[in-house]
Amino acid sequence: MIKKRWDKQKQTMLAFTMQGIFFFIGYCFFDVNTVIPVFIQTFTGKVELAGIASTIRQFSTLFVQILLGTYIVKVKKVPRYLGTCLMIGYAMPLLAVLPLAAGWSGNLLVITVFLAVAVMWTCDGLMVIGYYDLLGRIITPPNRARVLGYQQLFGGLGAMAGAMIVKKILDLKMIPITSKYIIIFSIGAGILLLGAVSMFFAEDVEYRHTADRYSLKEHLMKIPEYLRNSSSLRIIMYCQICFTIAAMVSPYVLIMCKEQFQMKDELISSMLNVQVLGTLLGGGISAFLAPRLGNRIIVTFYCFLSMLCGGCGLAAIHNIGSRNLNILIMVLTSGIASAAWAGFMNVMIDLSKGENTYIYMLINSVVTLPLSFAGVIAGQIIKYNSYQHLLFTSLIFAAGAFIISFGLYDFIIRRQG
């Protein structure tokens, strides 16, 4: 029985790892923080719209998690269910290809992209609780940290190559701009669908959730009790709230390089590569440092990098130190900090101890749902004030997250074997 469970764990680890790797590679062709903001700015010229895609992404997945999460954990054939959701969601970049091929106008193109993002991340919301529930039940904590880290590390390496492809395509002078994005979105969809196929190879064990006895309303009513009984849960949620608000600058980093710092298009595509490199480094942190230092320390480190992002951005605007170096650090750290979700998720799963993970995910969704609109608010800050005000706001909340993170219980994941 032990050998059989270990075999299932290895097969599931491989399935999760491959799914994550293909996701990170494919998603760099349809990223709401990099490619999509540049796409929106190119076809509409309206900077404030860049944050809407990020808001749609977060709201779609969190709202569905809250509404249906406690019912999703009743699904018996979890890997098949996860794979099906991913197949539908990961095909959505192809929806954005259709109006491009039909020659639609800029506003209609952007609306279609928003719709594609909404459907894609609604499907993510339908599967994410089951995803982490399966991950927490089948895979042990040290291996779980490695799986999430390897997803980001090797997926980040592939995404680096993908970002270079995106740069090459965008830099081609002889291809019309619509054709460039048709190629970019089509490549992304193809790679993402390979990740969806990988999930069908995951294995599960017979397991019955106590969720069968409760309704969504009863689960929501239990949230205050969970928060009262766990100071660590309260602290990680306070920390994540501040960090999420600080991260509202991310969709605007590349646009800031173009508008505030007057970079040419060739340099903007290079900065996209730098941001993806940051994601790669963030994956390496999760893969190799989290199992040794513990997730609390990793979360603290990510919060520090978020502070560094806002601080260097402000320094670049005010010409403090080397302007180019500050811009480079701002872009790089925004990419590294984007990998912070793995640290926060691992702390949540550690707190649940592999049991009732879906309740902790529900708490996370309920608390962070209002923050989905941070990207839209960031756009309004830019429209009515300036990038300087946005960076300052980000820096303040990043500092708050950094300070709060020191109150976390240090869940050290020790290496086994």
Is-contact 78 134, C-beta < 8 A?
yes
Closest CA to 373 of 125, 30, 56, 36: 56
Distance, in Å, from the CA atom of 49 to the CA atom of 41, rounded to the nearest integer, reads 8
122-140 pLDDT, tens digit each: 998 888 877 877 777 777 7
The DSSP 8-state label assigned to residue 214 in this structure reads -
Q: Is the pLDDT higher at 159 or at 389? A: 389
Predicted confidence band at 355 (pLDDT cuts at 50, 70, 90)? low
Task: Please state, rounded to an integer, the average pLDDT across all residues of the chain.
Answer: 82
Predicted confidence band at 150 (pLDDT cuts at 50, 70, 90)? confident
How are the residues of the chain apportioned to helix, strand and coil, as percentages rounded to the nearest 5? 85, 0, 15
Examine the pLDDT at 62 and tell me if it is beyond 80.
yes
Q: Name, in order, each residue with C-beta under 8 angstroms of 188's C-beta and a sequence gap of 6 or more.
A: 26, 27, 28, 29, 30, 93, 162
Q: Report pLDDT for 76.
A: 73
Q: What structural domains does the chain harbor? A: 2-405 (1.20.1250.20)
Q: Is the pLDDT higher at 400 or at 378? A: 400
Q: Measured in Å, how far apart are the chain's first and last C-alpha atoms?
A: 20
12-39 pLDDT, tens digit each: 888 889 999 999 899 889 988 778 888 8
SS3 189: helix
Q: Report pLDDT for 69.
A: 66
Q: Name, in order, each residue with C-beta under 8 angstroms of 113's C-beta and a sequence gap of 6 or more.
A: 36, 39, 40, 53, 96
Tokens of 147: 């799986």
Distance, in Å, from the CA atom of 408 to the CA atom of 232, rounded to the nearest integer, reads 6
Block residue for tokens 């399966």: 134
